[in-house]
Structure 1
Amino acid sequence: MKEKKIAAISHKTKVIPIQWDATFFFERAVRSLDRYHYDKALKYFRRAAEYEPDNPVNHCNMAGILSEMGNYEESNRILQSIVDELDSEMTECHFYMANNFANMEQYEAAEDALVRYLELDSDGQFLEEAEEMLELLHFELERPTKLAFIKAREGFYEHDQARSLLEEGKFVEAVRLLESIVEKNGQFLAARNNLALAYYYMGMFDKAMTTIHEVLDIESGNLHALCNLAIFHQHSGDQEQLKPLVALLAKTVPFHQEHVFKLATTMGILGEHGEAHRHFVRLLKDSSLRDDPCLYHYTAVAACNMGRHEEAQKMWLQASKLDPKSNVSGYYLEQLELIRKGHNPAPTSYHYHLPFEEQFKLWEKSSDALPDHMKRDPLVRSSFFWALRHGDRNTKLQVIQALGLIADNEVKDALREFIVEPQEDDYLKRIAIFVLRSIGVHESLKAVLEGKETVIEHSRMPSRLPIWEDKWQAVLDAALLRMNKHYDLVQQHDLLTLWIEFLSRIYPDVPKLGKIEGWAAALEYLTAKMHRRAISYHEVSQRYETSIATVSKCAKRIDEICGIKEKMKMIFPALAEHRE
Structure 2
Amino acid sequence: MNKRFKTKRSTTKVIPFIQSGDYYFTKGLRAYRRRELYKAKKYLERAVHLEGNEAMFACQLAVVLSELGEYQASNEWLLKIVTELDSDMNECFYFLANNYAHLGLFREAMNYAEKYLEREPDGSFVEEVEDLIDLLSIEQEALDDQEDLIMKQEKARTLLEKGEFLAAIDALKAIIGEYPEFWSAYNNLALAYFYMGDTEQAQQILQEVLEKNPGNLHALCNRLVFSHYLRAEEDVADLAEQLACVHPFLTEHRYKLGATFALIGRFDLAFKWLRHLYKIGFDGDYSFYYWLSYSAYYTGHEQLAKTAWGKAMEQSSEKFGQEPWAVSSKLMRWLTSTDIAEVLYGLYMMSKSLTADELIGYQRVKSELPTQVQAFADYIFYSDKEVPSFVSDGYAVMDELWQRNLLADEQLHITWFRVFLHASTTELHFVNHCAWAAATEYVWRQMQGQSVTQKMMAQKYDISSATVQKYVKKVRQWLS
Larger radius of gyration: 1
Q: Larger relative contact order (C-alpha < 8 A, sep ≥ 6)?
A: 2
